A and B are shown apart, each in its own frame.
Chain A
Amino acid sequence: MPSEYLGVLIFLMVATAFSIGALVLGEFFRLRRPYAEKLMPYESGNIPVGEPHMRFSVKFYIIAMLFVVFDVEAVFLYPWAVVFDKIGLYAFVEMVIFIVILFVGYIYAWRKEAFVWD
């Protein structure tokens, strides 16, 4: 029997007991003031029940596209920052160019009022 796994077993037992215990204890002590909105499943503010072909505003697509653009920027920035001191000046210049190009996209989106909701 590999005894080094004993700690994991104890951790599992404690974690299970703690989470069940917290739920059971909460049941006794917490206030209960239900109303319709609170009982609804959380769907980021959308009404969760309805027709499957629900239409939602086209503005969400613009937000999604902007998110993708700046998300990709973040994805590139992290590994670059980690090895920054090893890869030299050229990589720094290249990243500056990359961010400048994204910044152009940012200015374009801003001037085209992509950040204005109404």
Chain B
Amino acid sequence: MPIAMPNLIPVMPELVMTGVAIILLMAELVIKRKETLGFLSLISVGLISYLLLGSAGTTFGGMFVSDGYSTFFKLIFMANLVLTVLISPKYLQTMRINFGEYYALTLFATLGMMLMASAADIIVLYLGLELMALSTYVLAGFIRYDMKSNEAAIKYLLLGAFASAILLYGTSLIYGLTGTTNLRDIAVYITHNGLAKNPLLMVSMIFFAVAFSFKIAAVPFHMWAPDAYEGAPTPITAFMSVGPKAAGFAVLGRVFLVAFGSVKTDWSVILIPIAVLTMAIGNILALSQTNIKRMLAYSSIAHAGYMLLGIIAGTPAGISSVLNYMFIYAFMNIGAFAIVIMLRTEGFAGEDISDYEGLGKTHPTAAALMLVFMFSLTGIPPMAGFMGKFYLFMSAINAGYTWIVIVAVLFSAISAYFYLRIVMLMYMKEPKEVIQLNTSPGIGLALAVTVSAVILIGILPAKVLALAQQAVTSF
């Protein structure tokens, strides 16, 4: 039987991405100025974003689906990639790790995320997850002479491999139970055969929850995150804190709401304690950090906890508010990391929280930008972070989870301490030493984009929210 040519339109962005990544890998061998490769990847993102908008459809026998949900996530990945590429070159030069593989690997990692967002079959999901994870492990260890970077890569690799194994175990149980790996077929089988109280289904859902919790760094599967975030090159920390987390939420939403949608009462019992613990541990441990990258790592753990509320709510409003929050989170988090990168100069790490003392006097613009991002991460109006949290908590209340929202608001109040401490240090302390800023046009552009996104979405939140709501209608 000859294999028929599948419809390639839905998968076109991924195909272009693969092609560009391979071309970059080859170009790396001949091009001496590595920034050229970054520029090429920016151009390709423009092309891919254009292709994304006309890519709706299902292909490869229902294994790959391009719908509003996946397109929204892919746009987040594109924003993540563009911002990471913009903040990278100067840092790579300062750290003397200016190798061209960096750009090819970020592209491959993003390709893996795109496959995950579009996966309508657990096999495709796993394929994308591994492509993303393997590329990110290498990127985390990109500062080869630095022990901490090596430690980050090894820890991330070992725990990531562990999570992948658990995911495969869960997949094998589901396949044994239903005889399919297609998410929609699994859902149909579960409802038709009344598997709601099946213990194997429950075990399999626990395995899925554990594996995805690793990817989004939810407690108690967050242990790798602070070490990996601290040791990895800072642009990669920014990349890792948004991209893989968004991809993790994309598959979490799709698997739990499409495949296991009919047994929501069973899996919400698993996810609720994870969400509460994630908000608690993330926010409380962030209080005692002295390294800003570790602090932002714990903060990103806490934000995963907030976003889990939307998944637990499970309503279209809940999912669209997760999408909305992820979009906002991408800008505010990468913006904060861009400031961290600027403080890094040759021979000066600039990663201690005390290094921010007096930044308001020595570098008022950078301090003002950091203030915007810190306010947004705390969730203070009129920054975008407030609107994101507002919609998330509203959707959870409307779905009847009022007590979790109360818990979330309490922990969110705790988070104000460690975010606003940085603001306090910047404006209310005298500078200890003169800090040089390591700026570049790329970082400037990235900061301009992120800060205007954070303020604009904060003042006019309806546009992005409407897009997110539209995205989940086809879900």
Binding site for B on A (CB under 8 A): 86-91, 101, 104, 107-108, 111
Bound state CA distance, A76 and B60, in angstroms? 19
A-side contacts of B3, CB under 8 Å: 87-88, 90-91
| Total interface residues in chain B, CB < 8 Å | 9
Q: How far apart are B333's CB and chain A's nearest CB, in angstroms?
A: 33
Within 8 A of A (CB), among B1-38: 1-5, 22, 25-26, 29
Across the A-B interface, the 7 shortest Cβ-Cβ residue pairs: A88-B2, A111-B29, A90-B3, A90-B5, A91-B3, A87-B3, A104-B22
Bound state CA distance, A86 and B22, in angstroms? 31
B-side contacts of A87, CB under 8 Å: 1-3
B-side contacts of A86, CB under 8 Å: 1-2
A-side contacts of B5, CB under 8 Å: 90
| Between-chain CB contacts (< 8 Å), 15 pairs | A86-B1, A87-B2, A88-B2, A88-B3, A89-B2, A90-B2, A90-B4, A90-B5, A91-B2, A101-B22, A104-B26, A108-B25, A108-B26, A108-B29, A111-B29
Q: How far apart are A89's CB and chain B's nearest CB, in angstroms?
A: 7
Contacts A90-B4, A90-B5 supplied; 9 other A-B pairs, CB < 8 Å: A86-B1, A86-B2, A87-B1, A87-B2, A87-B3, A88-B3, A101-B22, A108-B26, A108-B29
Bound state CA distance, A113 and B465, in angstroms? 51
Bound state CA distance, A16 and B434, in angstroms? 86
A-side contacts of B2, CB under 8 Å: 86-91
CB-CB nearest in chain B for A111: B29
B-side contacts of A90, CB under 8 Å: 2-5
Inter-chain contact count A-B, CB under 8 Å? 24
Q: How far apart are A21's CB and chain B's nearest CB, in angstroms?
A: 49
Q: How far apart are A71's CB and chain B's nearest CB, in angstroms?
A: 18
CB-CB nearest in chain A for B104: A108
Binding site for A on B (CB under 8 A): 1-5, 22, 25-26, 29
Q: How far apart are A81's CB and chain B's nearest CB, in angstroms?
A: 15
Which applies to chain B's interface (DSSP): helix, strand, loop or mixed? loop
Bound state CA distance, A88 and B3, in angstroms? 6
Q: How far apart are B20's CB and chain A's nearest CB, in angstroms?
A: 13
Bound state CA distance, A107 and B4, in angstroms? 32
B-side contacts of A91, CB under 8 Å: 2-3
Pairwise interchain contact A107-B1, C-beta atoms closer than 8 A: no
A-side contacts of B26, CB under 8 Å: 104, 107-108
CB-CB nearest in chain A for B1: A86
Q: How far apart are A104's CB and chain B's nearest CB, in angstroms?
A: 5
Q: How far apart are A64's CB and chain B's nearest CB, in angstroms?
A: 16
A-side contacts of B22, CB under 8 Å: 101, 104
B-side contacts of A89, CB under 8 Å: 2
A-side contacts of B4, CB under 8 Å: 90
A-side contacts of B29, CB under 8 Å: 107-108, 111
CB-CB nearest in chain B for A104: B22
Pairwise interchain contact A104-B1, C-beta atoms closer than 8 A: no
B-side contacts of A104, CB under 8 Å: 22, 25-26
CB-CB nearest in chain B for A112: B29
Bound state CA distance, A101 and B25, in angstroms? 11
A-side contacts of B25, CB under 8 Å: 104, 108
Q: How far apart are B97's CB and chain A's nearest CB, in angstroms?
A: 16
CB-CB nearest in chain A for B4: A90
Q: How far apart are A106's CB and chain B's nearest CB, in angstroms?
A: 11
CB-CB nearest in chain A for B25: A108
CB-CB nearest in chain A for B15: A97
Q: How far apart are A91's CB and chain B's nearest CB, in angstroms?
A: 5
Bound state CA distance, A111 and B2, in angstroms? 38
Bound state CA distance, A91 and B25, in angstroms? 26
Bound state CA distance, A91 and B2, in angstroms? 8
Bound state CA distance, A101 and B23, in angstroms? 10
Bound state CA distance, A36 and B188, in angstroms? 69
Q: How far apart are A87's CB and chain B's nearest CB, in angstroms?
A: 5
Bound state CA distance, A99 and B236, in angstroms? 31
Bound state CA distance, A34 and B2, in angstroms? 61
Q: How far apart are A50's CB and chain B's nearest CB, in angstroms?
A: 26
Bound state CA distance, A88 and B4, in angstroms? 8
B-side contacts of A111, CB under 8 Å: 29
Bound state CA distance, A115 and B5, in angstroms? 38
CB-CB nearest in chain B for A107: B26
Q: How far apart are A116's CB and chain B's nearest CB, in angstroms?
A: 15
B-side contacts of A108, CB under 8 Å: 25-26, 29
CB-CB nearest in chain B for A86: B1
Q: How far apart are B135's CB and chain A's nearest CB, in angstroms?
A: 14
CB-CB nearest in chain B for A108: B25
Q: How far apart are A98's CB and chain B's nearest CB, in angstroms?
A: 12
Bound state CA distance, A104 and B4, in angstroms? 27
Q: How far apart are B161's CB and chain A's nearest CB, in angstroms?
A: 15
CB-CB nearest in chain B for A85: B2
Q: How far apart are B179's CB and chain A's nearest CB, in angstroms?
A: 23
Bound state CA distance, A101 and B15, in angstroms? 12
Bound state CA distance, A89 and B3, in angstroms? 8
Q: How far apart are B88's CB and chain A's nearest CB, in angstroms?
A: 21
Q: How far apart are A3's CB and chain B's nearest CB, in angstroms?
A: 43
Bound state CA distance, A86 and B3, in angstroms? 9
Q: How far apart are B4's CB and chain A's nearest CB, in angstroms?
A: 7
